[in-house]
Amino acid sequence: MASNGSSGYNTPDSTIEGVLPIHPTSVRRPSYITVQSENTSYDDEHITSKFYNRGANVTLIDGQFTVAPRVQEYEFRTKRAVSKTGIMMIGIGGNNGTTLCATILANRHNIIWHTKEGVQQPNYIGSVLRASTISVGTDASGKEVHVPISDVLPMVHPNDLVLGGWDISGVTLDKAMERAQVLDYDLQRQVVPHMTLLGKPLPSIYYPDFIAANQEGRADNLIPGNDKQAHLDHIRADIRKFKGDNDLDRVVVFWTANTERYSDIIPGINDTADNLLNAIKISHSEVSPSTLFAVAAILEGEPFVNGAPQNTFVPGAIELAERHKSFIGGDDLKSGQTKLKSVLAEFLVNAGIKPLSIASYNHLGNNDGRNLSAERQFKSKEISKSNVVDDMVNANRLLFKAPEVGPKGVAIGKGEHPDHIVVIKYVPAVGDSKRAIDEYYSEIFCGGRSTINIFNECEDSLLATPLILDLTILTELLTRIQYRKVDEQREFSPLYSVLSLLSYMLKAPLVKPGTDVVNSLNRQRNALESFLKACVGLESNTDLLLETRIW
């Protein structure tokens, strides 16, 4: 959105009402932690660490499990210089996009505002990277020491992100913020001058078959024509221009637009990289807008994150990312109900309690809810929300019978599984304030039953926006990390194209084909913490606390 001359690095304007000294949650920390270890070294360009990945190989013979521990030594190398980073959002004029822009600008310009509870200062509460901590050891007295996650490795500060993107609606971003009805009026009033500088979204692409018909009235800001190859070229040019105009090192392209219907996977069309590129050339009807944006980012060598539930990453898109060693991540922001479900379902199963049914009901009144009122778009959301308990169930076959095994050793079906029902209804009156109701009905000791009911009300976009920040910042960091296996004596290589370390913030995590999906929130968080520690040569998290259990 730099066409109006905004660099995205504005300094606070003392003429604008509400400017105060920087709030503690926005303060720039001068450095990150330093590890003194033979496993960690620092030079002007890189942090290099050794890490021992410990696991075990298991074999089953005649009902007897044999476990053989294994160790693989890795080296990680992290570029210390943080990239000057921009985020280009598809759907920047929606609730999430305008809320992200406004809250970054409020933090950047230190704007305070009045609510009925009193004076509110800007912050990044809800961001895992900016508002949570990680244990790095104990001090001289034996007390555990926690530091902000953003202090483990050098990361982009949210205030420094350069903002831009596309939208099918041509409403200027200040007016789009007003339309969204998410933020307090006094904040909107004060941030308008800064939002005005961002101007109007770039024209986007609109293929009516992929989103609900009720969105047609918003579609007045479109790249002309129906030629999907021309659309791809146009989007690639937009990315290059945005990057050049703002002198950026990195652009993260982020889908935060409407949920699309699922794309059919068609052999010869989107099953391979070459077939997908050819399908774009012939403007095949099954190439979705989100897949087209993903391909544009991949071909430009910039990361693409899908914040909606549709299957943007068809097999051809994943293969194309692998070919170009570009980074992709998704799917669907995990902000409230599903995040809680991944915790509570794991608690029940790990406690030896057997969930028999999980029934979830949602109603919301924002434009996302309006789009999801269409059956095909709801189906995408239902799929992303329904698979969240699968890995917990598969981990405990004492409670749930395993699937039958076919003649060639292939599992038949999913085996025993809780009934899992998801309902979403559009209720305009509640606006962005989503209501979520869940019932967990479980079997307990000797045929007993337990029912847990949860009612959750949340301002949807205020939970989702920090996730967009985290996904963007973490993605930029992962582009600066390389690895090698020590015993192979090879050069450092980038991480695999599918960034599964983003899973903590996503409902339906995209993983490397052929590997298991982890939905457990605790395991996802532990994986993220352990990886960040590995990059500075620290051991993985442990709650053994052996020193408290021995003489």
Residue 142, classed as helix, strand or coil, is coil
Is residue 507 annotated as part of the catalytic site, yes or no?
Answer: yes
Q: Starting at the earlier edge strand, list the strands of the sheet with 162-167.
A: 202-203, 162-167, 85-90, 250-255, 304-306, 328-330
Identify any residues that bridge with 76 across adjacent strands, giving them in sequence order.
49, 483
State the catalytic residue, choosing from 354, 381, 385, 533. Answer: 381
Tell me the C-alpha to C-alpha distance, in Å, between residue 80 and each of 16, 239, 459. Answer: 35, 25, 36
* Residue 72: Cβ within 10 Å count: 12
- The angle subtended at Cα 94 by Cα 437 and Cα 25, nearest 5°, is 80
> Whole-angstrom Cα distance, residue 204 to residue 91?
9
Find the farthest-apart pair of alpha carbons in the chain and give their distance in angstroms, rounded.
Answer: 78
The CA distances from residue 483 to 29, 167, 451, 500, 503, in Å, are 27, 37, 47, 16, 20
CB 94 within 8 A of CB 167: yes
Q: What is the phi/psi pair of residue 123, to 5°? A: -160, 180
Tell me which of 174, 332, 438, 470 is the catalytic residue: 332
Helix (H) or strand (E) holding 319: helix 315-324
**Of 243, 334, 354, 434, which residue is the catalytic one?**
434
d(CA 453, CA 447): 20
Distance CA 153, CA 156 (A): 10
Grouping H, G, I as helix, E, B as strand and the rest as coil, residue 58 is strand
Residue type, position 92, single letter: I
- Can you read off the two tokens belonging to residue 542? 């442990």
Strands 481-485 and 493-494: antiparallel
175 belongs to the catalytic site: no
| Alpha-carbon separation of residue 198 from 21, 176, 327 (angstroms) | 24, 12, 27
The per-residue DSSP string of 447-480 comes to: G-EEEEEEEEEEEHHHHHHHHHHHHHHHHHHHHT
Active site residues: 332, 381, 434, 507
